[in-house]
Amino acid sequence: MLLFSCDNPPVAPALQFDQASKRYGAQTALNALTLSVEPGEIVGFLGPNGAGKSTAIHLAMGFLQLSGGGGTMLGKPFGDAAARARVGYLPDNPAFFSGTAKDAMSLAGALNGMRNPRLRTRTKEMLAAFSIDEPRKDVRKFSRGMQQRAAFAAALVHEPELLILDEPTSALDPMGIIEVRELLHAVRGEGHSVFFSSHQLSEVEEVCDRVAFLRSGKLERIGTLDELTAGGAQVEIMARIPGDVTGFEAQKMSDQRARFLVPRGGQRECIERIWANGGEVLSLTQQRRSLEELFIESQGFESKEAR
């Protein structure tokens, strides 16, 4: 007799912060962060410098000790060495031991339990995937961008279940950024989870399933892009109208068409006036907020335009 149905076994989050806090004396670097990354999900972590993004990542990796709360990574408490074997971590500022890029990748794989010939094959694959053309050059003499590529390759060499990336594209050129984007899509396609912090809002917008905003160590908001960007402050009304509509400014276009941007709640009055002036409403669209607007809003400061 089965005690539990195995059709839909509960799936533990790949990464879970449970009221995780970090304090340095009186200063709070992370304040009761509760957040989870589900298997196969990409979660972006946004916030200005000093918001606590790296602190959260360092807690998960076990580099820092929790001051309060807890958390699990692949079902094990933060800092568990066995769990780290299934995690690929890319630091914001990668460092390597003396040796070639190939050595660095082999060492990274071997420290996670990979052995030859699989390790050799994966090392070659990663060197090719990240366009590291000089695998025999001392990795410490690479440019910052190439070092980041090498570190990325080293984080992936052992085929991790969970990727934790701290500013993965900060030192990359546009081609590198596109490669990383494609790679993250591929990783998600294979069912792996990704948790990454970034300043590149377009990057986050492009690849993330969910986005979390952090401010002064506190989680401000979290949700899917659709959830977060819906409910913008304005409504766009496209209309065909011969003259002007008093009280509403319109952007005139060809064909007597005009585009009105009206505050949410004011659309009814605008439509009635368009009709009253013999016009015809062509479309009505709720304006979505951009991630940039959300970011600015969540950090509690206004953009220059808003001011």
Partner 1 sequence: MSLALVTLALVRQNRWILLMLVLWPVAMALILLWPNAAPDQDDVLSVLHQECFYALALVSVTGASQLGNEQRSRRTVFVLARSVSRAQYLLCGLISTLLASLTFTLSFLSCGFVLIRESGGDYAAVIAMAALQFFLCIWFASFGVFFSVFLPAILAAVAVSLCAGALFLLGRHTEMFGMTRLIAEMLTIPLNLTEAASGISAVGVISILGQSVFAFLLATYLFNRRDLQLTEN
Residues within the interface to partner 1 (CB under 8 A)? 24, 54, 58, 61-65, 81-82, 84-85, 87, 89, 91, 93-99, 104, 107-108, 110-113, 154
**Nearer CB in complex with partner 1: 154/207:** 154
Complex with partner 1: residue 67 or 234, whichever CB lies closer = 67
| Nearest distance in Å: CB 208, partner 1 | 22
The answer to whether 287 and 263 have CB atoms below 8 angstroms apart is: no
The smaller minimum CB distance to partner 1, of residues 153 and 222, is found at: 153
CB of 206 to partner 1, least distance (A): 26
Residue 10: cis peptide before it, omega within 30 degrees of 0: no
CB of 107 to partner 1, least distance (A): 6
Nearer to partner 1, 154 or 222 (CB): 154
Rounded to 5 degrees, φ, ψ at 261 are: -115, 110
Name the token pair of 241. Answer: 């109208």
Determine the Cα–Cα distance for residues 245 and 298; give it in Å rounded to an integer. Answer: 35
Q: How far is the CB of 25 from partner 1 (least distance, A)?
A: 12
Query: For residues 33 and 45, what is the distance between their CA atoms, to the nearest angstrom?
Result: 12
Three-state SS at 81: helix
Instruction: Give the integer Cα–Cα distance in Å for 242 and 139.
Output: 67
Identify the CA nearest to 163 among candidates 155, 151, 171: 155
Decide whether 89 or 142 has the Cβ nearer to partner 1. Answer: 89
User: Which residue reads 């000089």 in tokens?
Assistant: 134
Tell me the closest approach of the beta carbon of residue 219 to partner 1, in angstroms. Answer: 21
